[in-house]
Each structure stands twice: as structure tokens, then as C-alpha cells.
Structure 1
Amino acid sequence: MRTLVIGDIHGCLAALKTLWRQVDPQLDDRLIFLGDYIDRGPDSKGVIDFLIEVKKTYAKAIFLMGNHEEKLCLATHGGSELAIWLSNWGGQATLQSYTTDNPNDIPAAHWEFLRATRPYYETSSHIFVHANLSANIPLSLQLPYTLLHKKFGQPKPHISGKTMICGHTAIADHKPINLGHAICIDTDPGRGGWLTCLHVETGQYYQANMNGESRASQLARPS
């Protein structure tokens, strides 16, 4: 069994499909998706359709919530929340993929999937979260803002002693950051970068982009 962690997808279905073929997940693999499935890229609807099928097929698949999913949920209230999502978060591309101008028209099955996403996932050695952790606060007491919005920066080791793996903070050179106690794998596929999948047990990572290109490498030594 492999533990495979996939970073921010941001509507980039073509990159996700290329990465999927490259990684070739098996039914006994543990698959962890770090959130931000939507916005920016051209096919958020297609990404959610794909992930719903993954959820049906892979019993060990885990789906976390990202801040973009949170903003979509808020946008259903209309008014300023909708305007902010459309203008600042890439929401227009998401609605175009659903051929609507109203987030409330998104299919019920997609809302069911999005609302079932988790704030974090924990194993005996790792904590998986969309954005970040506060180092001296137990996992169960972390603030939603920290889990969904806090940038990576230079996080200190968490009091649990476990390694944090996150996305959210786009990495300029499109290569994962490894601090030893914290790893960020948001390599910005929605803005010309690469989608990343990390094999946790080996440190090998796989990447694909919207041009159908793929590559693989090993995590750099902790900096």
C-alpha cells in the first residue's frame, strides 16, 4: 500500500488525468487530496466528476476541504460573497464549467461531495491539511482559518511530533518544499505550474501539467 497525496488541482482536469495515468493508483493505495479542487482552471466540474468516481472506486480515498471550496459555499449566499468569489478567487471559471452564473445551480451530487470533505486527516506519523497548523495547538483545537487560509511561511514543528503535509501556498519554482517536519506540495497547476502527487513513504513525487507533460523526482533534503 502506498500513501499518495495530491495537491491543489484548481480545475485542471487534463493535468489530473495525466498524473493519474502516471501514478497508476491501486485499489489498496491510500489517496489523500488536499483540497482546492475548483477555480482558476477550465474544468472544475470535470474535476469534481472525476473525484466522485474516485470516491466510489477507492475505499481509502480521503478528501480535504480547501479555502476555495469554502469560498464557493459562501458564494451561494449571493451579494458581496458571490462578487468576491467571482472577482478574486477564480470563481468565474468554475461557473463557466457548469454553464451557469449561479453557484446554487451546481448539481446536488457535487454539493454532497464538497460538503463531505474533511478539515484534516491524521495518521500515526503525519497530519494532512490544506493550508497550515499552529505549532503549539492540538489538532482538534486548530482554528478553521489556520487550516484553510494560513500561508506556509516557516512553520515550526507541531507539538504532536508528526510531519505536516499541506498545499495552499503556491510555490514559485513548482517544486515541493521540504522542511523535514513540514512539506508543501502546491505547485500551482491553475496558473501555468504543475500538479503534484507525493508518495509519502519514499519521498518520490510525480507531476503533470496542462500540456500533457509529466515528470518525476525526489523531495529535496530538508532545508
Structure 2
Amino acid sequence: MSRTLVIGDIHGGFKALIQVLDRAKVTRQDRLIFLGDYVDGWSETPELLSYLIQLKEERDCIFIRGNHDDLVLGWFKTGNSNPKWLQHGGDSTIKAYETVNPTLKNLHHRFLENLTNYHIDSQNRLFLHAGFANMHGPASEFHSNTVYWDRTLWEMALAMDTSLTPSDPTYPDRLKLFNEIYIGHTPTTRIGETKPMNLANLWNIDTGAAFKGPISLVDIDSKQVWQSDPVYELYPEEIGRN
């Protein structure tokens, strides 16, 4: 039977992605929805992107754009970098591409260029990297990059009274737009959680792979969770971002 599986932030942790896909026993019948941030962090961004391109040819996959993916795309286009990006994983990406041939780099460029900003499935479930601020949903955002930078949706959910239901007058209108919302971007490890978190109808699947956490994968129907080892343990010779 086919499943719909959502995968959180990866940040160049190719070994960890292979591990979690293996642990979940992913087959060609499964649909894979990746929530973005494939790049910046661990050393295997080129290997990871090549694998995702191959995976897209073989499987039913949806690739959401993350903020780091957009930053790397900008570097591919212009060659320019900035200190803040370099400090938050960009330096590892630049180093990783020092030995990558131009043809392969161009292939990765096109992959990042063709990522989607968000996806809404037939059951009115929303998938995006970060969040949205507009009360009418992500399609109404004035700036398209909001969907891969916004943290207010997650911060709102964290601050909510857990007893609220959609029928309560103070229940956030943004959450009423979709049956479920799946995001990454803000690691759950920031508040001491190493597994995906569910608040109201919002699921955060970023479990800190860029830092000391694992990559997480969730079956969105059964809500079963699979995780890699903490990614830094698979790259013992590297210093993770923290």
C-alpha cells in the first residue's frame, strides 16, 4: 500500500537521509514530500542534490523550497556570498563545490530553481518550509519568500492555549484554512524536543539535523515517525553549526 511521507530539513546530511529512508522501508509506491533546506551544513550537499534529482526521476516526489536552498541558488547565479550566510552553513556548501564540475553544478542549479514554494494536496493539507503570515493563506503573500522564511506561524502555535478548538472565537484564522499544515525551518531542538512536534493542526518536522538532531520522516496518515541517527554522529570529522 502506498504512503505519503514527509521529510524534514536535511542540510547536506546525505548519509542520514539514506539511513532514514531505509529505516522507513520506502518503496517506489510511496509519495515523498521534502520540506526544503537540502543544502548548507554538512559536507555532502552535492551528493545529496544528485541523489534527489535521481529520486525525482524514479519516484513520486515533491520538493519544497527552503530559505537555504534559495540562498544557494543566489550564490549559483551571482557568485556572491555574505558573512551571515557563510556562518550559517554557506561556507560548507562553497567548499563542497570546489571539486564539482560545471555540468553537475548547472544540473543542481536547475533543480534548486525548479523547487516549489508550497504544496496543497487533495485533502487540503498544506506543505511548506516555514510558514505564512497572510490571513488568506500562502497564495496571498505579498512577498513569495515569506513561505520559506516566516516563523510567526510556529511561534503562534507554541503560544496557543492547547485547549482551544476551531470553534473558539480566539482560535487563529490562519490555522482554519487547512486541515493540516506541515513545516520545517525552526528546529524543535530549540525547545528541547528531538522528534516532530504537533500543535493544533500544525506539524513541525525539523528536528535539528543542521545541529545535533536527526532527520525525521513522518507518515502523514498513520503519523508514524522514523528518524536517522543524530546527523553529526555520521560526520564525526566535521564541526556542525550550533
TM-score in terms of structure 1 length: 0.85
The reply to whether residue 37 of structure 1 matches residue 38 of structure 2 is: yes
The residue that corresponds to 1:18 in the other structure is 19
1:54 aligned counterpart, secondary structure: helix
Query: Could you list the runs of 5+ residues in structure 2 that have no partner in the other structure?
Result: 158-171, 235-242
The residue that corresponds to 1:130 in the other structure is 129
Identity %: 28
> Which structure has more helix as a fraction of its residues?
2
The residue that corresponds to 2:71 in the other structure is 71
Give how far 1:85 is off: 5.6
The answer on whether the counterparts of 2:127 and 2:182 sit within 8 Å (CA) in structure 1 is yes
CA distance in 2, matches of 1:122, 1:196: 21
Which structure 2 residues correspond to residues 70-109 of structure 1 after superposition, within 5 A? 70-75=70-75, 76-79=77-80, 82-84=81-83, 86-99=85-98, 107-109=105-107
1:89 aligned counterpart, secondary structure: helix
Instruction: Give the letter for the 2:197 counterpart.
Output: I
TM-score in terms of structure 2 length: 0.79
Which structure 2 residues correspond to residues 1-223 of structure 1 after superposition, within 5 A? 1-58=2-59, 60-75=60-75, 76-79=77-80, 82-84=81-83, 86-99=85-98, 107-123=105-121, 124-134=123-133, 136-142=135-141, 143-151=143-151, 152-155=154-157, 156=172, 157-172=174-189, 173-209=193-229, 210=231, 211=233
- Structure whose CA Rg is larger: 2
The answer on whether the counterparts of 1:135 and 1:159 sit within 8 Å (CA) in structure 2 is no
- In structure 2, relative to structure 1, the CA distance for the partners of 1:84 and 1:74 (3 Å cut) is farther
CA distance in 2, matches of 1:186, 1:117: 18
The answer on whether the counterparts of 1:19 and 1:195 sit within 8 Å (CA) in structure 2 is yes
TM-superposition CA deviations, 1:139-170 (whole Å, max 9, x none): 32134232011112124443423211000001
Instruction: Give the letter for the 2:127 counterpart.
Output: F
Give how far 1:106 is off: 6.2
Give how far 1:100 is off: 5.3
Query: Could you list the runs of 5+ residues in structure 1 that have no partner in the other structure?
Result: 213-223
The answer on whether the counterparts of 2:10 and 2:215 sit within 8 Å (CA) in structure 1 is yes
Instruction: Give the letter for the 2:55 counterpart.
Output: V
TM-superposition CA deviations, 1:65-96 (whole Å, max 9, x none): 100011112234244xx123652331111122
The residue that corresponds to 1:220 in the other structure is none
- What value does the CA root-mean-square deviation take over the aligned residues? 2.2
